[in-house]
Amino acid sequence: MSKLNLNQEQIETCRKSAEAIASQIQAFIDLHTTVSVERSILRLLGVDGINDFGVPLVNVVIDHIKNEADLSLGICHYISYATHDLRLSPQEVALEVSLKKLSLIKYKDYKKSPYLSDLTQYFEKVLKQIDEMRLLRKRWIEDTPKKSTPQKYVIVATGNIHEDIKQAVSAVKRGAEIIAVIRSTGQSLLDYVPYGATTEGFGGTYATQENFRLMRKALDEVSQQENRYVKLVNYASGLCMPEIAAIGAIERLDMMLNDSMYGIIFRDINMKRTLIDQYFSRVLGAYANIVINTGEDNYLTTSDAFDHAHTVLASQFINEQFAKKAYMDESLMGLGHAYEINPEIENSFLYELAQAEMSREIFPNAPLKYMPPTKHMTGDIFKGNVQNALFNIAAVTSSQSIHLLGMMTEAIHTPFMSDRAVALDNAIYIEKAFKDFGNEITYNPNGIIVQRAYEVLGKANDLLLEIKQEGLFKTLEKGTFAGISRHEDGGKGLSGVIKKHTFYQNPLIDYFIDSMKGGYHV
């Protein structure tokens, strides 16, 4: 039952505008590929490892084609010819190219490859592993107790994967239900995926396939001990968005931060590059049944949460449509928002609750990700703990899904395990005390909460109509989101965008889409 009685026609208009915005971008995406998309295809063909200089083999092969041949044909063109002619596996082809014993240049002038079927056995081996991981997750969740309150999400970020595991296990034993391994600062700007287990990182731990495997193994062990499935989160964003989505699917990550808008605005990644990458990564994520987390909450760290709340809602609408273009089910759309209004504003809690309720009612089937107060945390840990308590109340009252716990030491230091324990105790107490509170209350139709929701929705509708008219690229150039301007030909990674050749082939994308149209991914 709606408690806000929002204007459904206005919501539908917002969705139509967002769909038109996404369609404009999709028309561009469909004509292009990127170096990272092609590298992810190699990974899904089973290519792995590094050369003697520590460069991933997938980078070696794609750079070879891009610099010396024609990548617009797609990597499958070259690999299918090579595997057919030489009777080598894609991994063996990559090793031969790396050792400079093989050049793929001659295939540049060959006709459209008739040998794609030769790659099927290699794709099937990797996809079988992804299928097994998806089904294992599904069975495990079905066989463990269900809950109706938000899932408690905490972060580990030591830089050392082995220390991260210790902290993650301790958090799970204290009540955490989702563990996010924060990625090392700056990794989003690396145009390659580091290899192996890592023990050094600034502000977080490198996202690598081995690190994913190690953390997944540890969480599986503690899940068995606690008799509940603990979910794992990392980042499928930045210049290697589709590649990290691929290794996340292989190693059974459950959620991945996956949002081009965040990369464009806060990491200055070229918008053309990252929107193409996002599409492939989301199609793959949809196939693997991985929940995405989007980054609208970050807008409010650089722009005022009270005045610019409508930009968050507008972005949620756009991200929803981008996800639908990638065949994602609504149950996988972890749209983001945050509790970031200045606490000095009178009735700030009512405004925060209005935003949370509005998001919940507009996106009823989405596993919304609700972020804690950070911008207005001062270092006063006692006040900070109260701010987090109010945030926790808003989360439970408005039935949020993914509840990232706030730390009372925000703005002081990376949380200690004791800080995390305090945050979990706070959230667990409120979860119990307020469990059915949201079902017990109604809102004054003429009151602050309802009127605030009406206002934000109306402004989001106006903004979406404006973006529909101007196009998303021009809107981002104006700095509409988060007050940060980006140019469509600026930022990192534009040189990795390639217009597809008439003979371009990517059998994987067709396979994923056909599978999801049949409901295979659910």
Catalytic residues: 262, 297, 369
d(CA 509, CA 486): 29
**Residue 441 burial (C-beta neighbours within 10 Å; 0-12, 13-18, 19+):** exposed
Q: How many CB atoms lie within 10 A of CB 363?
A: 21
Q: Which residue type, as a one-letter code, is found at position 77?
A: H
Q: Which residue type, as a one-letter code, is found at position 516?
A: M
d(CA 158, CA 517): 41
Any idea which residue has 């001062």 for tokens?
A: 378
The tokens of 94 are what?
A: 């990559």
What DSSP letter does each residue of 414-449 carry, written as one string?
SPPHHHHHHHHHHHHHHHHHTTTHHHH----TTSHH
CA distances for 39 relative to 58, 193, 519, angstroms: 5, 10, 27
At residue 254, the 3 state secondary structure works out as: coil
Q: Which residue type, as a one-letter code, is found at position 118?
A: D
**Structural contact between residues 369 and 404, judged by C-beta atoms closer than 8 angstroms:** yes
End-to-end CA distance of the chain: 27
The tokens of 258 are what?
A: 């996956």
CA distances for 15 relative to 337, 461, 522, angstroms: 18, 9, 24
- Output 193-196 pairs: Cβ under 8 A, ≥24 positions apart: 193/56, 193/240, 193/243, 193/244, 193/247, 195/49, 195/50, 195/54, 195/56
Q: What's 316-345 look like in SS3?
A: HHHHHHHHHHCCCCHHHEECEEECCCCCCC
Residue 226 parent element (H or E):
helix 209-226
Q: How many CB atoms lie within 10 A of CB 487?
A: 12
Any idea which residue has 């980078």 for tokens?
A: 59
The tokens of 373 are what?
A: 């107060």
**Structural contact between residues 33 and 500, judged by C-beta atoms closer than 8 angstroms:** yes
**Residue 435 burial (C-beta neighbours within 10 Å; 0-12, 13-18, 19+):** middle
Q: Which residue type, as a one-letter code, is found at position 480?
A: T
